[in-house]
Amino acid sequence: MARSVSLFLCVLLLQILLVSCSTRIQMSCLLPSRTGLTKGSTLSIQHDGHSVTARQLSRKLSDALNETGFYTIKPDGEYLLTLNNVREHSRTRNPGEYAVEADERETELSVGIQLCRKGAAQCFYAAEYRQSSEGDVADFDSLCHDICKDLCPHRVTYQEKVTPPAGNPFFEQAVECCRAGHWDTAAPLARKAVLLQPAELETHYLLGLILRELGYYKASSECFRQAQRADAVQYNSALQTSETQALKQLRLSPTDRSWKHDPLLHTYRKHKEFPLSEFILTGILEAASPVPLP
């Protein structure tokens, strides 16, 4: 009995050590606008009501879209963005619904948007948005942020977990470079890690992540296949499709990846607040060589 308990404890300790040795790498991908419009499109923004809330939201959204640099807001734009059913509702929270020290009131702001070509009766994009905030003041900025993410190409970050194999210093060095954002430096280190331990699936997986971040999608997919992670190959393919669509909307060549290595991009990844993060990304993308759409 004592031997079984000891064996169980050893296995449990080993699992804890393996989990503790794993680390996470922050990845990124450029997602397209949900509207399909390209950079430089001109918008007119209108609202269907005369309330103060509708006017405030219209003005805030106009400022937010201007700051992204993707659209040009004009009174006679080619496309018409209509805000409808703008509602601001405050309520008192029920006792015990949230922490005792939290504000006892909550304000909900909701809006429906429709996007159509000027003069056309049928809209080609419609969505509903909702945002809740503590107190009596509506959170216009967060709601506009959500809308802008759908109307403009934007960069998102996500995390991937890797587990360093024992006795492979190149792997650990490559991971540190990834965490610092030095992907070009990490690539040759990851290749050395694969050569040192080709039977370790995690070395192939790390190299695939690095090549994915650098934009070498075909090579990264092959690494994922070597790592025997079919889900990673499918995810890589989905990200490749999204990023290609976003680059076309930004009127950049899908093969032009010069913007991806701009040092300002690392600042963008660290900065979570809107609109400064979007402003930084816009500067990076505008610095890339524009090419006409195919």
Do residues 198 and 132 both lie within one domain? Answer: no
pLDDT confidence band for 228 (50 / 70 / 90): confident
In a shared domain, residues 50 and 145: yes
At 209, which CATH number?
A: 1.25.40.10
Residue 273 confidence class, pLDDT cut points 50, 70, 90: low
Question: Would you state the pLDDT for residue 265?
Answer: 58
pLDDT at 207: 95
Averaged over 131-138, what is the pLDDT? 82
Residue 98 belongs to domain with CATH number: 3.30.160.150
- Which domain-ending residue is among 134, 154, 174? 154
Q: Which one has a higher pLDDT value, 161 or 267? A: 161
- First-to-last alpha carbon distance for the chain, in angstroms, is 72
In a domain, 288, yes or no: no
Same domain, 186 and 230: yes
Does residue 281 carry a pLDDT above 70?
A: no
Q: What percent of the chain has pLDDT over 70?
A: 76
Per the domain annotation, does 56 fall within a domain?
yes
**154, 175, 206: which is the final residue of a domain?**
154
What pLDDT is stored for residue 6 in this prediction? Answer: 56
Query: Do residues 167 and 123 share a domain?
Result: no
Would residue 15 count as lying in a domain?
Answer: no
Report yes or no on 239 lying in a domain: yes
13: enclosing H helix or E strand: helix 2-21
293 has pLDDT over 70: no
- Give the whole-angstrom CA distance, residue 96 versus residue 104: 10
- Residue 255 in this model has a pLDDT that exceeds 80: no
Q: Map 248-292 to HEC letters.
A: HHCCCCCCCCHHHHCCHHHHHHHCCCCCHHHHHHHHHHHHCCCCC
pLDDT (average), residues 142-164? 90
Amino acid identity of 182?
Answer: H
Give the pLDDT mean for 70-93: 90
Q: Give a yes or no: residue 257 inside a domain.
A: no
Q: Which domain holds residue 64?
A: 42-154
The answer to whether position 118 is within a domain reads yes
Q: Is 87 part of any domain?
A: yes
In three-state secondary structure terms, 102 is coil
- CA 208 remoteness from chain centre: 19
Phi, psi of 142 (to 5 degrees): -65, -40
Please say whether the beta carbons of 63 and 73 come within 8 A: no
- Cα–Cα dist 207/222, whole Å: 10
Together in a domain, 179 and 146: no
Is residue 279 very low, low, confident or very high in pLDDT (cuts 50, 70, 90)?
Answer: low
Q: Does residue 14 lie in a domain region?
A: no
Predicted confidence at residue 57, as pLDDT, reads 93
- Is residue 62 a contact partner of residue 81, using CB atoms and an 8 Å limit? no
Residues 192, 218, single domain; the answer is yes
231 & 243 share domain: yes
Least confident of 36-50, 175-189, 198-212, 247-261: 247-261
Domain boundary among 154, 179, 211: 154
Rounded Cα–Cα distance for residues 54 and 218 (Å): 47
Does one domain contain both 149 and 47? yes
Total domains in the chain come to 2
Rounded-to-integer distance, Cα 83 and Cα 81, Å: 7
Higher pLDDT, 198 or 97: 198
| Lowest model confidence (mean pLDDT) among 25-34, 127-136, 252-261 | 252-261
Q: In angstroms, what CA-CA distances link 46 with 32, 85, 87?
A: 24, 12, 15
